[in-house]
């Protein structure tokens, strides 16, 4: 006989854990399946914004915080400063473990090292790393399984807008949090230097319509060397960033975070959209009449970021001018750094 659950959540990232925890707190029977053996690790710079999540994360998880952001272009260097921290860095594995503790305390059945071997509209076959199989029947299915989501494909939704993020965790320290906007190197994307407690996250983000992962890796290595960092090519990790958002609700099927395509096409920011959409989906499952204002605002900001990304990609000659103009507007405080954030 198949195990019975109200909700099967596929994927144990921030979106899946947030969704599962809120559902369980609301009285639902929730099973969360995560194919990786450990919750948390992901290719990610680990940045949280003040207006997004930073105020809601325990101080013990914060590794470094920065009230200044160093934004560089070929023509300008802009120091954006505020009274509160603008961005802080966290360790993704520690964040995942903290969220997993909350899920377990709420009563979520968390199963790591478990993948979906077969999927039907009302049931699934789960398979463990050792080959054990079990059936589970569910009333609702939530896909929180990232940019290459199995659940999204099951719903028949293609992905037409995808970014690529490459990251290397480099030992040592660095004084500033830096954003490098250089269309000659990264097109509409950027390079980043995000200091953590004992390491530095060095990476690049670009659009797969402009670069392959291999080409972006070469550009990362050359740019990092110019900044004084000799990266080990074998230590560079790549991840896809889906920003093709087509909604979260598909009858009794749901998508959150990167699976829904809610990451920013402009910056690749994904933790905040994952948490907002995960909590919104949980509330909508618990109350079919619920309308989440945070998700509605997130969708508006997502469209703005996608339009800005498309404008820069579709007009290569204008891309440099657009990035320089944005830096100038930041310098003159006509716009603030929140324009680059997914939080509204």
- pLDDT, mean of residues 301-306: 94
Q: How far apart are CA 306 and CA 342, in angstroms?
A: 11
Q: What's the Cα-to-Cα distance from 257 to each of 14, 125, 270, rounded to whole Å?
A: 8, 23, 7
Least confident residue range of 48-57, 171-180, 236-245: 48-57
Write down the pLDDT at residue 49: 82
pLDDT surpassing 70 at residue 53 = no
Q: How far apart are CA 101 and CA 17, in angstroms?
A: 10
Q: How far apart are CA 285 and CA 253, in angstroms?
A: 10
Write down the pLDDT at residue 316: 84
pLDDT surpassing 70 at residue 41 = no
pLDDT surpassing 80 at residue 96 = yes
Partners of 36 in the β-ladder: none
- pLDDT, mean of residues 163-189: 94
Torsion over CA: 58, 144, 139, 137 (sign): negative
- DSSP per-residue string spanning 178-243: EEE--HHHHTT-EEEEEE-SSEEEEEEEEETTT--HHHHHHHHHHHHHHTT----GGG-EEEEEE-
Three-state SS for 79?
Answer: strand
pLDDT tens by residue, 144-156 = 999 999 999 999 9
| Residues 15 and 298 sit within 8 Å (Cβ to Cβ) | no
Write down the pLDDT at residue 292: 87
Write down the pLDDT at residue 85: 85
pLDDT surpassing 70 at residue 43 = no
The pTM of this model reads 0.93
- pLDDT, mean of residues 79-108: 91
For the chain, the average pLDDT equals 92
Write down the pLDDT at residue 59: 82
pLDDT tens by residue, 157-170 = 999 999 999 999 99
Write down the pLDDT at residue 273: 93
Write down the pLDDT at residue 310: 93
- Six-digit token string for 333: 């405080």
User: From the CB of residue 58, how many other CB atoms can be counted at a distance below 10 Å?
Assistant: 10
Domain parsing of the chain, residue ranges: 3-41+92-159+243-314
Kindly state the percentage of the chain with pLDDT values over 90: 76
pLDDT surpassing 70 at residue 7 = yes
- Six-digit token string for 270: 């994904």
One CATH from 3.30.70.920, 3.30.360.10, 3.50.50.60, 3.80.10.10 for 3-41+92-159+243-314: 3.50.50.60
Write down the pLDDT at residue 158: 95
Confidence of residue 333 (pLDDT cuts 50, 70, 90): confident
Q: What φ, ψ does residue 97 adopt, rounded to 5°? A: -65, -40
Least confident residue range of 56-65, 116-125, 151-160: 56-65
pLDDT surpassing 70 at residue 48 = yes
Q: How far apart are CA 256 and CA 274, in angstroms?
A: 6
pLDDT surpassing 90 at residue 44 = no
pLDDT tens by residue, 280-298 = 999 999 999 998 899 999 9
Write down the pLDDT at residue 54: 61
């Amino acid at each position: 006989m198949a195990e019975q659950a109200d909700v099967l959540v596929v994927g144990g990232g921030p979106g899946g854990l947030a969704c599962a925890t809120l559902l369980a707190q609301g009285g639902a029977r929730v099973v969360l399946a995560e194919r990786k053996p450990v919750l948390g690790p992901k290719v990610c710079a680990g940045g949280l914004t003040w207006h997004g999540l930073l105020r809601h994360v325990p101080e013990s998880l914060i590794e470094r915080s920065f009230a200044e952001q160093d934004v560089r272009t070929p023509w300008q260097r802009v120091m954006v400063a505020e009274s509160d921290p603008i961005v802080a860095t966290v360790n993704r594995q520690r964040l995942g473990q903290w969220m997993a503790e909350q899920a377990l305390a709420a009563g979520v059945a968390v199963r790591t090292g478990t993948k979906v071997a077969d999927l039907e509209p009302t049931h699934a076959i789960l398979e463990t790393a050792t080959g054990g199989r079990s059936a589970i029947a569910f009333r609702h299915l939530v896909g929180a399984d990232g940019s290459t989501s199995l659940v999204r494909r099951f719903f028949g939704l293609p992905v037409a807008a995808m970014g690529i993020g490459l990251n290397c965790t480099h030992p040592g320290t660095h004084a500033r949090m830096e954003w490098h906007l250089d269309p000659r190197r990264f097109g509409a994307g950027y390079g980043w230097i995000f200091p953590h407690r004992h390491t530095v996250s060095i990476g690049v983000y670009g659009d797969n319509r402009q670069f392959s992962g291999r080409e972006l890796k070469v550009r990362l290595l050359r740019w990092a060397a110019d900044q004084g960092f000799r990266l080990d090519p074998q230590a560079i990790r790549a991840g896809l960033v889906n920003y093709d958002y087509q909604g979260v609700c598909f009858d009794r099927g749901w998508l959150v975070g990167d699976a829904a395509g809610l990451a920013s096409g402009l910056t690749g920011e994904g933790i905040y959209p994952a948490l907002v959409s995960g909590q919104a989906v949980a509330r909508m499952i618990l109350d079919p009449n619920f309308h989440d204002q945070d998700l509605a605002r997130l969708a508006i900001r997502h469209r703005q970021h996608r339009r800005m990304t498309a404008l820069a990609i579709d007009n290569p000659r204008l891309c440099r001018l657009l990035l320089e103009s944005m830096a100038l507007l930041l310098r003159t405080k006509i716009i603030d750094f929140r324009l680059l954030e997914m939080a509204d």
